[in-house]
Structure 1
Amino acid sequence: MVEDLLKAGHLKQYIRIVPKGEESSHSRGPRTPAAPARAMINYIYGGPLDDEYNSKRKRQSLLRAATVWEHVSSIRPGLANGSIHPIDGTIVFPALDPSRVLQPHRDVLILTIRVGDYDVKRILIDPGSSTDLLQVAVIKRMGFEPSSLENPGRTLSGFNGSSTTSLGDIILQVHAGPVILNVLFSVVEDLSPFNAILGRTWLHGMKAIPSTYHQRVSFITRDGQINLYESQLAARQCYQIAREAGPSADREHSSKEANASDQ
């Protein structure tokens, strides 16, 4: 399509013509076969011309929405291409190191893991969840528009019968040590005090074993056992945030403040 537009004389503002005889310092000496010339399109203008889309901010919003659609459509859940494979094997949990894990404790597993191009804090590792969840504020910080997510409106049910409606799905790469998984996240409005929840889908894809007692998640690759250690401080901060918010209307305000300060 772009090639046809160029042949028809469009998109000239994105093409730079090098005058004949103009040579760079790299062109002197023996000549090698030239690579095919490529036109780079930095931005495509067009679409509706009404006032709703005539600002730079609105155009950037549309571009981000298109990026989300392209991103979600281009990858599928599962091990990323070129990633190291987790393998089956015997995972060993040694005696607790008192310098790493405070005892006694009742802390949940809270990790900081790279999701996409961001290090995301306050990720709950929850073997009781069959779905991987992501707070909508996180994808907004990443530059994605919730309105462009796929499969909006799915009902997610909790163990006590409560339910929430997903804003949609997005596939993002989750980097855990040397292993990269393309994870299908269901995006929800209020996940406070957590930025994300990684459940059984991610754990099984990683062939990982979580231990709240040892405060770590472990899995095996051909190079040996990999251990992802939790932050007990983050776990206790999350507990305190949830406790202070309670079931009242103040919960929404507290969750937004917590996520904005520590994403």
Structure 2
Amino acid sequence: MKSDPSKRNLEPFCEFHEGHGHKIEDCHALRLAVAELLEQGHLTELLSEKGKQAYYRNREQGAPPPLPEPKRVVNFITGGVNINITGGLDVNKFTYTSGIKFKRVTTRSEKRDRLALVEDCITFDEADADNTQFSHNDGLVITLRILDTDIKRVFVDQGSAANIINIRVIEEMKLTSKIIHKSIMLTGFNNSTERTLGEIILPVVAGGVELQTAFSIMSSAMAYNMIVRRPWIHAMKAVPSTYHQVIKFPTP
């Protein structure tokens, strides 16, 4: 178990870990171990008919190929400098207590593919909140692969309809020649307006799926490198959970 032993609930007992902290039916590690055995062709006789259909369908389709190593990584760009955030930060009423959170790749495509063998629906449980400190009021900040670059500090915003990218990220990726001169006015929650610099269409890879996504380009100071919003979330059929600090995708 990854959690601090002194902070565990001593009431539930997990036979798989032979320790206290959670019930065995909530054990994420056990589910991954079972999924690993299923990938090797074991335990199929224990599946329900629906589970067998999902299992053989996934075996026929095959798992998506792993992503190659990125050519570059964009951490957090501010004032024209590519830096790592290592201290506490309080931005837009979202409080981040540790830079480690920024490094979590919450797409978890490999684990999702394994869990797809035993589950047909997207659900969340306490095991998905591993290494998340409660109680928190954090927004969901993830890492996404754009072309050959891992972009960190990507804010998942379910409340707006315009995907946004910082111009400094485009400059870092040397994609300024791909900018489409299509400027629009964006209105904030306080009715303040700002004109975008243009638009760019980029391939976003998540959950084993590559999706061509249109981004409005902003030059003003931003707390994030990118903001993905409803158009991308809906197109990916993704289900984000700010509570668990995870975003999940259906089986492609």
TM-score of the two chains, using structure 1 as the length reference: 0.48
Larger radius of gyration, structure 1 or 2?
1
Instruction: From the two aligned structures, give the one with the greater strand fraction.
Output: 2
